[in-house]
Structure 1
Amino acid sequence: MSRATLFLLLIALAGAAYARGPTPAEQAPEAQIQAAMALPDELRQALPALELDNVSELDRVRRLFEFMVAEDGLALRYLEQPTYGIAESYARREVNCLSFTMMFIALARAAGVDAYAQMSEDTLAMRLVDDTLLRARHVKAGIDANRLQYTVDVGWRSIVAERRPRRISDAQLVALLHNNNAVENLQGGDRAGAAVEIAAALALDPDSAMIWSNAGVIELRSGRRDAAERAYLRALDLDRDNIGALGNLVALYRATGAARLADRYDDRLRDVQASDPFSQFLMAQGLMDSGAYDMAASHYRRAIRLLPNQPQFHRSLADAYEKAGKDRAARRARDHALALEQRRYSQRSIPEARPGSG
C-alpha cells in the first residue's frame, strides 16, 4: 500500500558538515525517540473503551488495528506525503505506512503488546520526479506470538505471519521519520530544512547507507560536491551494493569529468542492476522511448521474473508488446496487470485521503 519510507534520491554528508545551528539531533537521542513515539493524551485515553483486558495478544492487535482504520474508530486515511509524526497524524487522521506503523506500535505498547517496527529490503514503489528518482521501501509493525512473527500491515486487511522483513530499532524508525521529512523538504525547495532533518536522521542511525546517500543528494543540491562524494563513499562503506549511492556517485563523477572513477563504479552499478527489478524497469522505459520495443519487453520480463506481482511491470510489458505488434501477448499481460490491481484494491484497508476528505 504505502510508499513512505526510504527514498533514494540522485544526490549525505560528512559528519562535520552538519554543524549548522540548532537541530533536532541536539536532543539526547533517547529523549528524541521517546518524544517521537509518545501518544497524545486523548488517544491514550481512548484505549479503555476497546476492552483489551482479558483477551489474547492477537485479539488485542486485531482490535487496535480495526480501531485505527474503522469509520467508528480513528478512520485514518492514507496520504503518501507529507510524513507526519504520531500526534499530527492523529490530529489530521492522515497516515502513510511509516506514521501508521509508529502510531500502531505506540498504541500496542500502551495496551501491553510488545510491538516493534519491521522494514522490507525490497523496493515497494518507484517514480520519477523531475530529475530525481524516488524509491520507497515498506515499513510495518511486527509482534511475536505463539513462536511466530506476525506483521501488521496497513496495506492489507489481515494480520499475516511473515519472516521476510527485518526488525529495526525505535532509533532507526524515528530516523526514517526524519529521513522522509528531509526528502520532502528537499522536494519543496527547502534545502536548509532538509539538512536539519537529515542530520537528525544520521544522529539516530549513523550506519544507514540509505540515509547517507540521501544526505549526499542534499549536499550536491546545495553545491557541495566534495561533501556529497564523501557521503556516497560512506554509504558504500556501509553497503557495497547500495544502488542509490552507486548511481549517485557515477552521476557525480560523470558530471565532474572523473571518467575513470565513473567507469569503475558504473561496472559495480551494472552488476547490482542486473538483479534489481526496478532498474530493469527503468532500462525498459528508456528503450521504449527510443522505439526498441522488443528489447524493452525483454527487460520488462526480467523485472517481472525478479518481482512477479508488480502490476505496473505487466502493464508496461503489455504496452511494449502492443507497440511491437504482438496483440495477443499484450492482452495477456494487460489482463494479468488488471488482476493484480484488483487484488490489491480489494485488500486495501485504508482509503486514499483526497482534497476535502479527512
Structure 2
Amino acid sequence: MVTTVRTSEPAGSVTGARARTPRPPRAGLIAWLRASLLCLVVPVVACTTSRGSLDRAGITPDELLAGTVLGSAGVPPAPVAEDEVLALSPQMRDFLDKHVDRKASDSLKLQQLAYAIVDADTFGLVYDDRTRTASETFHARRGNCLSFSNMFVAMARHVGLKVEFQEVEIPPDWTLDKDTYVLNQHVNVYVDLGQTGVRVVDFNIADFKTSYEMRRIPDTRALAHYYNNIGVERMQTGDTAAALSCFRTAIADSERQFSPAWANLGTLYLRAGHPAHAEAAYLQAVNANKSDLVALSDLARLYERMGDRKRAAAYQKKVIHHRYLNPYYRYELARRAYTGKDCVAAIGHLKYAIRKRPKEDQFYFLLGACYLEKGDKRAAERWLAKAQEVAATDALKRRYSSKIDTLLRGGDDHP
C-alpha cells in the first residue's frame, strides 16, 4: 500500500477511498499472481477555517525533518531498521528449501515459488491494509501489495531470481460531484528471466491491466514507500515521534525527492497546529514532484482556510490544469457527457484520452458507443472493434464481443 493522507475531511470519514473486498488468491497463475495494493486515502482531523498569515520564512528542509516544534528533538530511529525490511527468517528459508528447486531453470523456480505462495494448502494469502516487512508478511500470511512485494522480492532473490520492485500507475477514481479524486498507487514485482523474457508478479488487484504504465524502481524508493506507509499508520495512532522518524527515513531514502512523504509530513505538522511548517512541507512535496495533485490540493485548502484566497486560487488552478491533462479524468468527463447526451463533447475528451493511452480498451468502447448514439454505425463498429482488439485477455475480448453484439442490435449494454 502506498499511502497518501488527505486533509480535507473530518475524522471518521473516508473519502476518495473506495472499499475493496479482499479476494482470495487463485491457484494456476504463474506470470501474473493476483493479490493487491491500493492507495487508501486516510482521513485526518480537518482544520477549522481561520484567517491569519503564514510565515514559513526560514523554515528549512532540515528544520522540517528535525521536528523541533513538534517536541520531537532527538527522535529515535525508525521502528524497523532498513536491513530488516527484506530480511528472511529461518522459517522462510525452510519454506524455500522445501518448495523451490535451486537447480531448476529460472522459469521453473518462478513457477514453483508462485504456486507455493498462492496455494492455500502450503501458504495462502489474505489481503489487508497493513504494511509489513518481508518476514512479518510471511508469518502473518497477510498484508497489502507492498507487504507481499517485500516478501516476494526477498524470497525470489534468495533462490537466485533477478527481481525488482515496480510502481504501477493505476487510474485515479474521480468523484466529479464533489470534485475529489482517489489517488491509486500500486507496487508489484518485475522478474527478469533472461532469454525467456519478463514476467510480472502482482498480488490480488482485480482490475490490474497490462496497459497501465509501469516503471521499475530501486530498493531505496521501495523503502521510501514502506516508511511512508508506516509513518501514516503511526500518525493515525497519535505517535508523532515515530511518524516523524518514518517520514524522515522515507525522505532520506529517496534523496529528499519522495513527494508523498513530504506531503504526509505536512499533514503531521498541520494536525499538530503548525500551519506554516505544513505549508513548507507541502511546498517541498511540490518541489519534488510538480504534478503531485495531493500536495497541490493540500496547499490550496490550507491557503483557503487561512483566508489567502489569491494563493488558494492559484494552486487550485494548478490542480485543475494537471487534472485536465490526465487521460482517465478526461474519460470520466466523457462518461458524464455521454450520459448527458452530449456526444460531441464526449468524443473530444475520448480522442484526447486515446492519444495519451492508446491501449485502454474502455476508451475505445465508450467512443464507439458515442458514435452509435450519434447514428454513425460505421464509425461505431470501427471503434468497438478496436476496443476488442486492444483488450488484454481472451476473456475480455469475448466479453467485448458479446457487449458489441448487444449494442449493435440496439440492446441496453451501454458503458
Per the normalisation by structure 1, the TM-score is 0.70
Whether the 8 Å contact between 2:172 and 2:181 is mirrored in structure 1 is no
How many residue pairs get matched?
Answer: 321
Residue in structure 1 matched with residue 54 of structure 2 by the alignment: none
Residue in structure 2 matched with residue 60 of structure 1 by the alignment: 109
Deviation at 1:84, TM superposition (A): 1.9
Report 1:321-336 matches (<5 A).
none
Deviations 1:319-341 (A, max 9, x none): xxxxxxxxxxxxxxxxx9xx99x
Q: Is 2:229 the partner of 1:180?
A: yes
Residue in structure 2 matched with residue 15 of structure 1 by the alignment: 62
Residue in structure 2 matched with residue 221 of structure 1 by the alignment: 271
Whether the 8 Å contact between 1:149 and 1:161 is mirrored in structure 2 is no
Moved more, 101-110 or 133-142: 133-142
Q: Is 2:327 the partner of 1:274?
A: no
Report 1:191-210 matches (<5 A).
192=240, 193-205=242-254, 206-210=256-260
Give secondary structure in 2 for the equivalent of 1:24.
coil
Whether the 8 Å contact between 2:157 and 2:163 is mirrored in structure 1 is yes
Moved more, 49-58 or 98-107: 49-58
Q: Is 2:36 the partner of 1:2?
A: yes
Deviation at 1:310, TM superposition (A): 10
Residue in structure 2 matched with residue 144 of structure 1 by the alignment: 192
Structure ID, larger Rg = 2
Residue in structure 2 matched with residue 238 of structure 1 by the alignment: 288
Residue in structure 1 matched with residue 158 of structure 2 by the alignment: 110
Deviation at 1:275, TM superposition (A): 2.3
**Residues of 2 paired with 1:284 and 1:179: CA distance?**
35
Deviation at 1:281, TM superposition (A): 8.1
CA 1:236–1:161 in 2, change beyond 3 Å: closer, same or farther? closer
Name which of 140, 143, 146 aligns with 1:98.
Answer: 146
CA 1:162–1:143 in 2, change beyond 3 Å: closer, same or farther? farther
CA 1:173–1:198 in 2, change beyond 3 Å: closer, same or farther? same
Q: Is 2:308 the partner of 1:261?
A: no
**Residues of 2 paired with 1:277 and 1:179: CA distance?**
27
**Residues of 2 paired with 1:106 and 1:245: CA distance?**
32
Whether the 8 Å contact between 1:101 and 1:117 is mirrored in structure 2 is yes
Give secondary structure in 1 for the equivalent of 2:162.
coil
CA 1:97–1:207 in 2, change beyond 3 Å: closer, same or farther? same
Deviations 1:147-196 (A, max 9, x none): 54431112379xx999942221222112211211223344x352514333
Whether the 8 Å contact between 1:58 and 1:145 is mirrored in structure 2 is yes
CA 1:119–1:74 in 2, change beyond 3 Å: closer, same or farther? same
Deviations 1:229-265 (A, max 9, x none): 1112112222212211111111111111222222222
Deviation at 1:4, TM superposition (A): 4.0
**Residues of 1 paired with 2:297 and 2:239: CA distance?**
21
Structure 1 residues not aligned, in runs of 5+: 315-335, 345-358
RMSD: 4.7
Moved more, 143-152 or 61-70: 143-152
**Residues of 2 paired with 1:167 and 1:3: CA distance?**
16
**Residues of 1 paired with 2:98 and 2:104: CA distance?**
14
**Residues of 2 paired with 1:41 and 1:164: CA distance?**
36
Whether the 8 Å contact between 1:8 and 1:134 is mirrored in structure 2 is no
**Residues of 1 paired with 2:171 and 2:234: CA distance?**
21
Residue in structure 1 matched with residue 374 of structure 2 by the alignment: none
Deviation at 1:57, TM superposition (A): 0.9
Q: Is 2:197 the partner of 1:123?
A: no
Q: Which amino acid aligns with 2:158?
A: A
Per the normalisation by structure 2, the TM-score is 0.62
Give secondary structure in 1 for the equivalent of 2:190.
strand
Give secondary structure in 2 for the equivalent of 1:115.
strand
Deviation at 1:42, TM superposition (A): 0.7
**Residues of 1 paired with 2:104 and 2:251: CA distance?**
40
CA 1:279–1:252 in 2, change beyond 3 Å: closer, same or farther? farther
Same amino acid, percent of matched pairs = 24
Whether the 8 Å contact between 2:171 and 2:328 is mirrored in structure 1 is no
Whether the 8 Å contact between 1:142 and 1:150 is mirrored in structure 2 is yes
Moved more, 199-208 or 106-115: 199-208
Q: Which amino acid aligns with 2:145?
A: C
Deviation at 1:272, TM superposition (A): 0.4
Give secondary structure in 2 for the equivalent of 1:167.
strand
